[in-house]
Structure 1
Amino acid sequence: MKKRTTVIDLINVTSISNSAIFNIGDTQQTNQKFRGIAIQEESAYSTPPKEEDFADYPIFQREANFMMNEVSVNKEHSHHAPTIRVGQISVIGVSSSSIMQAGNLNSINAEARLKHFRKLKG
C-alpha cells in the first residue's frame, strides 16, 4: 500500500496512562503489554493492607489467545490525494496497552490483562 502524509491542525488529548502510546509520525512496529491488579475495598479499614503479586493469579501466567490471520483478503486502494487532512481530533483517554496514532503504522501487537476484584466486609 502506498503511504500518505497525515496533516492534523489540532490534537487535544486529556489523559494517557498504563502502557499507552500517543504517537505522531510513522511507526514500523509497536508491541504494548499491560498487566494490572485493581482492588476495590468496601471500607479503607476493612482489611489490613497487603501487597498483591502477579504470580498469585493464573490469568497473568496463561499464554495469550491471539486471533489467527487465516482469512486472506484481496483489496485495492484508490487514494485520491497524497495527504490525509484532519481539522481537529479530541481524545478523552488512551489507556491499557492502546495507541493513539497519527501517521502510518505497519504492525501492532497489543495485550492488556487486568485482574479486578472487590473486598467486602465480612
Structure 2
Amino acid sequence: MEGIRSSVVQECKINDVAFSSNVHVGDTTHIKANSRAFAVQREEELFFGFEASFEDFPIFSELIPIPPITENIQFHRYNIDPVIKVDRVRIIGISTASLFQIGTIGDAYLEARTHHVRQLKSTHEGERP
C-alpha cells in the first residue's frame, strides 16, 4: 500500500456492531465480509423452527457483476502531515457486512443480501384486511 499514513483518534464510541460487520484499527491489505438474511414478518407470532433454505431463493446465489477498472489512473500525492488526526467518532450502529476502518485499506469487498417476506393473515371473501 502506497502513501501509508498513521491515524490518531482521541475517542471512538460505537454502540452496536452486528451481522458480519467489523471495526478495524490498523492497516488492512484485504477484507471480505458477507451477510445473508431471510426476514419473515408475520401478523401473527408464529415460528416454525425452519423457515426456508437460502438455496431456495436465487437472490442468495446470483453473481454480482463487478465491472473491471479499465481507466489508467495516475496521481501523485504529497502528504504534508503523515498523521490523520480525528478528535471524536460516534457511531450508533454498524450492521450487515459493513466496515468501520481506522487506518489504510487496500482492498475491500462487502456484500449483504436480504430476502424479506411478509405473511399476512388470510381474509374471508369480501372482507378488507
Q: TM-score, normalised by structure 2?
A: 0.86
Q: Deviations over 1:4-63 (max 9, x none)?
A: 100000000011001000011111110111111111111215xx6242210111111211
Q: 2:79 is aligned with what amino acid? A: H
Which amino acid in structure 1 is aligned with residue 63 of structure 2? Answer: E
Q: How large is the Cα RMSD of the aligned pairs? A: 1.4
SS in 1 for 2:34: strand
Divergent runs of 4+, >4 A = none
Greater mean deviation of Cα atoms: 30-39 or 73-82: 73-82
SS of structure 2 residue aligned to 1:121: coil
Q: Which runs of structure 2 are paired with 1:1-122 in the superposition (5 Å)?
A: 1-45=2-46, 49=48, 50-122=50-122
Q: Structure 1: which amino acid aligns with 2:13?
A: N
What is the alpha-carbon distance in structure 2 between the residues aligned to residue 71 and residue 43 of structure 1?
Answer: 53
Deviation digits for residues 77-109 of structure 1 (CA, Å, limit 9, x no counterpart): 221101001000001111111100001111111
Distance in 2 separating the partners of 1:11 and 1:76: 31
Partner Cα separation in structure 1 for residue 41 and residue 71 of structure 2 = 42
Distance apart, 1:71 and its partner CA: 2.6
Unmatched tracts of structure 1, length 5 or more: none
SS of residue paired to 1:55: helix
Kindly name which structure, 1 or 2, has the bigger radius of gyration based on alpha carbons.
2
Percent sequence identity is 27
What is the identity, as a one-letter code, of the residue corresponding to 1:58?
P
